[in-house]
Amino acid sequence: MKGKLDFRELLEGLGEPYLFVDGSGMVVYGNPPARETFASMGQVEGKSLEEVVANKGLAEALARVLEEGRAIRGFPLNLGAGDHERHLLASIYPMDTGKNRGAGILFRDVTRLRMLEEREEKALTISLVEEVLSRAFHQLKGPLTGLRGAVQLLEEGNGDPAEYARFIRREVLRLQQLVEDALDFSRPLVLERVETNVHRVLEEVLSTFKHQAMVQGVKVERLYDPSLPSIMADPFRLYQVFANLVKNALEAMPQGGVLRVKTGLAWNKRLLPGVDTLSVRVEDEGPGLSPQVEEQLFSPFNTSKAKGTGLGLSTAYKIIKYHQGHLWYKREGSWTVFEVLLPMAR
């Protein structure tokens, strides 16, 4: 019929790769950009999606769409390697043409956008490292001045040498911590991912601070979800994160209170397509943060502590980001809450 809309012609003229896959996972149709993108496979029709795209994760995402009848948008996909690497985002939509029930997959090439983002990230990282080192050297002046004064008084024979020795030891430890924190923050992380039980890591942290909690009269409550499986993560780095959060919570309650550690699934907070999210909340009854500190919460050297380096939370934030997770702060009534979100992809 004249004027009848031909969807095949529309798909042929589409500038982005498009595949139609039937209910068994076989590619029924691929438009010219799709054939060009996946040219190494030659003919795309009549092959399984995993053969054409060479990505098991995408095939699993397709299976979920076909089973649940719900679309998945923005599934990340990398093709090639080195200078020929391409970054795509795939959106999978369930479809029923009457004759065939399957799914349409539209690919968006974001390689150029990713390259621009990486350049911006590198420039930002260099700028941030410069700022960290500049502020670190600025903070070194205080302890160094104190050490010089103490050594001078020792040389002159004034005062108690034992007291000066204790002062010098404290300041040297402070200098060591400052330098280590600055270096740890400024250099890239290398994660050693292994199968990790988050509850075991939390128990190690709470055991470390058990004496401090008892001395301060802080009651520790554990609200763990025992059904949570292990995840692939770096347990040492996660220990660093949770130790920092527990330490901050205890310091916020010098006169006692309740420290609550809670785990569970964050059903409404997905970090990766089709992947559940693990939530770890560290809650305390302290006064919370001032608006000035909260505004720059995860920035380096942002601290309200007299002798803090201001790198603890910024390093924790960096570690969680390297795990493709998120760390955030909020007030819930009388509670101060820090929540760590981690993808549960294995």
Mean pLDDT of 155-166: 79
Question: What is the overall mean pLDDT for the chain?
Answer: 80
Token readout for 263 is 């785990």
Q: Is the pLDDT of residue 133 over 80?
A: no
Q: Which DSSP state fits 24? A: T
Q: Give residue 246's pLDDT.
A: 94
By DSSP bridging, strand 326-332 and strand 277-284 are unpaired
Fold of 114-186: Helix Hairpins (1.10.287)
Look at residue 4 in the predicted model and tell me its pLDDT: 41
pLDDT at 59: 86
Answer yes or no: is pLDDT of 300 > 60: no
Element (H, E) at 15: none
Q: What is the pLDDT of residues 209-255, one digit of tens each?
A: 999 999 999 999 999 999 999 999 999 899 989 998 999 999 999 99
Q: What is the pLDDT of residue 228?
A: 92
Question: Exposed, middle or buried, 10 (CB in 10 Å: 0-12/13-18/19+)?
Answer: exposed
Q: Indicate the range of 13-17, 46-50, 192-196, 341-345 predicted with least confidence.
A: 13-17
Task: Work out the average pLDDT over 185-199.
Answer: 83
Average pLDDT over residues 334-339: 92
Q: Which residues contact 178 (CB under 8 A, 6 or more apart)?
A: 136, 139, 140, 143, 309
φ, ψ of residue 252 in degrees (nearest 5)? -80, -10
Strand-pairing partners, residue 338, are 282, 329
Question: For the chain, what percent of residues have pLDDT higher than 90?
Answer: 26
Q: Percentage of residues in the chain with pLDDT exceeding 70?
A: 77
Q: Write down the CATH superfamily of domain 194-343.
A: Histidine kinase-like ATPase, C-terminal domain (3.30.565.10)
Instruction: In whole angstroms, give the CA distance from residue 17 to residue 210.
Output: 57
Predicted confidence (pLDDT) at residue 303 exceeds the cutoff of 60: no
- Under the banding of pLDDT at 50, 70 and 90, the label for residue 25 is confident
Give the CATH superfamily of 7-109.
PAS domain (3.30.450.20)
pLDDT at residue 187, as a whole number: 66
Comparing 20-24, 84-88, 116-120, 323-327, the range with the smallest average pLDDT is: 116-120
Rounded CA gap, 36 and 42, in Å? 9
Residue 204 has pLDDT above 80, yes or no: yes
Minimum mean pLDDT range among 43-47, 66-70, 135-139, 150-154:
135-139
Bridge partners for 96 per DSSP: 101
Residue 95 has pLDDT above 50, yes or no: yes
Q: HSE on the CB side for 259, CA within 13 Å?
A: 28
What is the model's pTM?
0.52
pLDDT at 107 over 60: yes
pLDDT classification of 146: cutoffs 50, 70, 90: confident
Confidence of residue 282 (pLDDT cuts 50, 70, 90): very high
Domain positions in the chain are 7-109, 114-186, 194-343
Yes or no: say if 43 and 30 are a contact pair by the CB < 8 Å rule: no
